[in-house]
């Protein structure tokens, strides 16, 4: 056993990851991983991705490798973190089923994140039951590893709250202290969410994202199309920096804060053109993203090795989750024939 805190987080594989994911969570978890203070588990949540993509299994299947490549590209290190595939850990499904009895339908319907997501998705054929209950499956993901530190975006707080409730109820009803309550680890205020090129939330479906895998030309093209200040027509006009995506991005990505302050002042005074400032941003982003892109390309040359890494990680994760499962079965009295 370890005296380190246990960290667990995950992503749904529904496509490649973008710089919003990078800023909102990938960056954080790599830093935590490298601190050496945590035993760290990173999960590709393919089972959860299927809750709203059940009829598009190929998308989920193909995205597993893409997400694994994105992880490796940003510095998630399989020597330091166990990277695994949710669907390959049977205990997660078994735990989910038992936890479901401790949660009311009304409570599930009130989960704010699920509510928002339901509004965004139009489930023509009705809400899949699996989708409505995915917060419970997420509680299984977290508790199977007895994880206490969960680095995620702010939108995941309701999932953690629901997990804590399940932990308390379980420990209470089945008289034990087997399960452990998790806490979220969130990005610093104002840095968690990065808007898309058009100023709206960055997302795959809106087509306004910059991907970690975008090549240099695509990156430049996207930056050139960015929303700036519609009233800044002539170079000499004073410009606005509020809601101007170029400056929003510079605030997040440029480490040279003095230069950013100087450029802002110049832009507001007038005399600084959009093209010039965009070229500067392209350089800043290219400096950050080129090393990530290169690492990604290197790993992409050997997809078999990446899948092998996932397989090993899944085996390791399975041992840990199975142990918790045995404890849970014992506490509930469903271990009739001893351990298996
Ligand atoms: N719901 C998370 C997301 O969409 C992904 C996820 C699944 C997760 N299981 C998890 C995150 C467990 C943290 C812990 O981003």
Percent of the chain residues topping a pLDDT of 90: 86
Kindly state the average pLDDT of the residues 125-142: 95
Q: Measured from the CA of 8, which atom of ligand 1 is nearest?
A: 14
Determine the distance separating the centroid of ligand 1 and the alpha carbon of 103, expressed in angstroms: 19
Q: Is 138 in the pocket of ligand 1 (CB under 6 A)?
A: yes
Instruction: Give the pLDDT score at 25.
Output: 87
DSSP 18: B
Ligand 1 proximity of 143 Cβ (cutoff 6 Å): no
Would the pLDDT of 206 be above 90?
no
Distance CA 178, CA 331 (A): 8
CA of 27 to the centre of ligand 1 (A): 16
CA of 43 to the centre of ligand 1 (A): 8
> Can you tell me the distance from the alpha carbon of 237 to that of 184, in angstroms, rounded to the nearest whole number?
45
CB of 311 closer than 8 Å to CB of 135: no
- 197-220 burial, b at 16+ Cβ within 10 Å, e below that, comes to beeeebeeeeebbbbbbbeeeebb
Q: Please report the pLDDT score of residue 175 as a whole number.
A: 77
**Residue 12 Cβ < 6 Å to ligand 1:** yes
**Does the beta carbon of 46 lie inside 6 Å of ligand 1?**
no
Asked whether residue 272 carries a pLDDT value surpassing 70, the answer given is yes
Nearest CA to ligand 1 atom 5: 11
Ligand 1, residue 11: give the atom nearest the CA.
Answer: 5
Q: pLDDT by residue (tens digit) across 55-95?
A: 999 999 999 999 999 999 999 999 999 999 999 999 999 99
Mean pLDDT across 302-306: 98
Pocket test of ligand 1: the residue of 20, 159, 160, 187 to mutate, having most ligand atoms within 8 Å of its CB, is 159
Query: Which of 37, 39, 28, 31 minimizes the C-alpha distance to 1?
Result: 39
Give the confidence band of 269 by pLDDT, cuts at 50, 70, 90.
very high
Confidence of residue 4 (pLDDT cuts 50, 70, 90): very high
Q: Are strands 149-151 and 183-185 parallel, antiparallel or unpaired?
A: parallel
Do the Cβ atoms of 137 and 90 come closer than 8 Å? no
| pLDDT over 90 at 306, yes or no | yes
In whole angstroms, give the CA distance from residue 238 to residue 231. 9
- Residue for token digits 């390309």? 297
Does the CB atom of residue 141 touch ligand 1 within 6 A? yes
Instruction: Provide the pLDDT confidence category of residue 1 given band limits of 50, 70 and 90.
Output: low
For domain 216-298, give the CATH superfamily.
Tyrosyl-Transfer RNA Synthetase (1.10.240.10)
5-193+303-332: CATH superfamily: HUPs (3.40.50.620)
Q: Please tell me the least confidently modeled range out of 167-176, 183-192, 259-268, 273-282.
A: 183-192
Task: Give domain limits for the chain.
Answer: 5-193+303-332, 216-298
Ligand 1 test: best mutation among 138, 192, 205, most atoms within 8 Å of CB? 138
Our mutation pick for probing the ligand 1 site, out of 18, 121, 141, 187, counting the most ligand atoms within 8 A of Cβ, is 141
Q: What is the pLDDT of residue 331?
A: 95
When pLDDT is cut at 50, 70 and 90, the band that residue 340 belongs to is low
Each as own residue / partner, the long-range contacts of residues 307-311 (CB below 8 Å, 24 or more positions apart, any chain) are 307/65, 307/68, 309/68, 309/78, 309/83, 310/44, 310/64, 310/68, 310/83, 310/84, 310/85
Assess whether pLDDT exceeds 80 at residue 313. Answer: yes
Q: Which atom of ligand 1 is found nearest the CA of 141? A: 12
Residue 277 pLDDT > 70, yes or no? yes
Decide whether any atom of ligand 1 lies within 6 Å of the 87 Cβ.
Answer: no
**Nearest CA residue ID for atom 13, ligand 1:** 9
Q: Among 149, 147, 93, 99, which Cα is nearest to 332's?
A: 99
- 11: Cβ below 6 Å to ligand 1? yes
Interval 224-246: pLDDT, tens? 999 999 999 999 999 999 999 99
Q: 212 and 73 in contact (C-beta within 8 Å)?
A: yes
Q: How far is the CA of 187 from the centre of ligand 1 (A)?
A: 15
Q: Quick check: 190 pLDDT over 90?
A: no
Q: 58: Cβ–Cβ under 8 A, 6 or more apart, which residues?
A: none
Of residues 31, 30, 42, the one with CA closest to residue 6: 42
Ligand 1 pocket, 152 CB below 6 A? yes
Residue 205 structure tokens: 């479906």
How far, in Å, from the CA of 37 to the mean position of ligand 1? 21
Answer whether 114 contacts ligand 1 (Cβ < 6 A).
Answer: no
Ligand 1 centre to CA of 138 (Å) is 6
**How far does the centroid of ligand 1 lie from the alpha carbon of residue 12, in Å?**
7
Per-residue pLDDT, 86: 98
């Amino acid at each position: 056993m370890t005296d380190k805190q246990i960290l667990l987080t995950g992503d749904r594989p529904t496509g490649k990851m973008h710089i919003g994911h990078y800023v909102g969570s990938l960056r954080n978890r790599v830093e935590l991983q490298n601190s050496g203070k945590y035993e760290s588990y990173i999960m590709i949540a393919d089972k959860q991705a299927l809750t709203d993509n059940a009829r598009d299994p190929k998308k989920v299947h193909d995205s597993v490798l893409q997400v694994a490549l994105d992880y490796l590209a940003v510095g998630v290190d399989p020597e330091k973190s166990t990277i695994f595939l949710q669907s390959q850990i049977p205990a997660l499904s078994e735990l989910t089923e038992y936890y479901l009895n401790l949660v009311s339908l009304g409570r599930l319907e009130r989960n704010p994140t699920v509510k928002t997501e339901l509004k965004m998705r139009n489930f023509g054929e009705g809400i899949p039951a699996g989708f409505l209950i995915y917060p419970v499956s997420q509680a299984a993901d977290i508790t199977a590893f007895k994880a206490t530190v969960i680095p995620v975006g702010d939108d995941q707080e309701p999932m953690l709250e629901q997990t804590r409730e399940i932990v308390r109820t379980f420990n209470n009803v089945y008289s034990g202290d087997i399960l452990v309550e998790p806490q979220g680890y969130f990005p610093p205020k104002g840095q968690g969410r990065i808007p898309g090129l058009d100023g709206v939330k960055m997302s795959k479906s809106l087509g306004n994202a910059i991907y970690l895998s975008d090549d240099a030309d695509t990156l430049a093209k996207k930056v050139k199309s960015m929303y700036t200040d519609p009233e800044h027509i002539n170079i000499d006009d004073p410009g606005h920096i509020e809601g101007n995506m170029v400056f929003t991005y510079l605030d997040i990505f440029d480490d040279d804060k003095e230069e950013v302050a100087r450029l802002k002042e110049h832009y507001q005074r007038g005399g600084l053109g959009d093209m010039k400032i965009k070229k500067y941003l392209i350089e800043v982003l290219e400096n950050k993203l080129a090393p990530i892109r290169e690492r990604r390309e290197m790993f992409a040359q050997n997809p078999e090795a990446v899948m092998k890494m996932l397989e090993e990680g899944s085996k390791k994760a399975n041992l840990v989750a199975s142990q918790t499962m045995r404890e849970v079965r014992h506490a509930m009295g469903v271990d009739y024939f001893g351990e298996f």
